[in-house]
Amino acid sequence: MRSTILRAAGAIALAACVALPALAQPSTAPAPADLAKEQQQRQLAQPGNNSPVWKEVRSGVPQTTSLPGRETNVLIQPEGQTWRALRVPIATAGGALLALVLLALMGYYAWRGPIGLHGTPTGRQIERFTPAKRMAHWAMGISFAVLGVTGLVVTFGKSILLPLIGYTLFSWLATLSKSLHNFLGPVFAVALLVFIVLFIKDNIPRGHDAQWLAKFGGMLDRSGKTHVASGKFNAGEKALFWILVVVLSIVLVVTGLVLNFPNFDQTRATMQTMNLIHMIVGLIATAMACFHIYLGTVGMQGALEAMRYGYVDEQWAKEHHEYWYNDVMAGKVPRGSEPPAPAGVQHRPA
């Protein structure tokens, strides 16, 4: 009997706290006394059932608080449950997309192999990327790669890595990933802006890009006999630049900064929306980046060396970027500086 009275008294106090703000303004809601009486009767009939009180708390209606800030007068935001529920199917779909892309690239490599040269290298080098452009590319590319890997750990680590490596190791990995992701985000934003400024001129679409797209650059010709001329960057590279670098990466930067700096007084609804957009765009961007990473490493011979050292052989330039090669040979485009000679060797004039 005593425990029943104590539960009823506690229910009356809780109901009064929830209903107290209604005294400050006219309302059609039931009076606090009525709510308390209803809760008392419910406790007697159904002990432990606080449904009326929690229904009021979960309504999301602002109450009264002494804490400053936006939404501090809302105890529970019901939309948060919707956000949590949406994350699971979105992450699952994004993970499936990423897995399909990786499987497709492995299958393409097994079918086609690396794209090499048909002619014999001339030994004469053309500067393809200046040191400034290479630095901008690696700064943006490395920060993007780290952000992508750490983002995948945060998104899928609990369901994939945790069962494999255990709680202790995963806790260290998750903490490290979160810290790297948060601190590298602003670095990536600056590197991205510099990269866009340096590379936008060579990625402006041209009329001959349509021919490359129509034949997909001859990449589906296993014999490699299909030759499609292109400028300094082909249509596929330009598509990646505008879609991945300009559009998707800028969206990632904006949404990431909103999430990274909640002290700008964003609402919970804003943070939840930005989180979903950031995850969707991040998974799509990571999948698209896999194509670029593949062609820039094992997919095309000489591509990695071009960005690593800045120079390509004339034959490589002619076979892969013929319009740019012709402009260089005709003097319309600067040939660039001579490659550095090995120690003790001096370049002879051509």
Condensed to tens digits (0 to 9), the pLDDT of residues 214-256 reads 999 999 888 888 889 999 999 999 999 999 999 999 999 999 9
| Across 312-318, average pLDDT | 95
Residues of the chain with CATH 1.20.950.20: 79-330
DSSP class per residue in 207-227: TTHHHHHHHGGGTT-TT----
Please answer whether residues 272 and 80 qualify as being in contact, where contact means their C-beta atoms are separated by less than 8 angstroms.
Answer: yes
Strand partners, 124: none
pLDDT(347) > 90? no
pLDDT(11) > 60? no
What CATH topology corresponds to 79-330?
Fumarate Reductase Cytochrome B subunit (1.20.950)
Nearest to 76 by CA among 55, 49, 58, 98: 58
Kindly report the length of the chain: 350
Strand partners, 127: 311
Token digits of residue 240: 């990646």
Residue with the bigger pLDDT between 2 and 33: it is 33
* Rounded (10°) angle between helices 162-199 and 131-160: 160
Cα–Cα dist 270/304, whole Å = 41
pLDDT(288) > 90? yes
Q: How far is CA 244 from CA 174, 216, 237, 281, in A?
A: 26, 18, 10, 10
What is the pLDDT, as a whole number, of residue 82? Answer: 87
* Rounded (10°) angle between helices 79-112 and 268-294: 0
| Across 75-98, average pLDDT | 89
Q: Furthest-apart CA pair in the chain: how many Å?
A: 105
Please answer whether residues 304 and 119 qualify as being in contact, where contact means their C-beta atoms are separated by less than 8 angstroms.
Answer: no
Please answer whether residues 77 and 60 qualify as being in contact, where contact means their C-beta atoms are separated by less than 8 angstroms.
Answer: yes
Residues 15-43 have pLDDT tens digits of: 444 444 444 444 455 565 666 677 667 66
pLDDT band at 281 (very low <50, low <70, confident <90, very high): very high
| Across 289-313, average pLDDT | 95
- Give residues with Cβ within 8 angstroms of 91, minimum separation 6: 155, 156, 279, 283
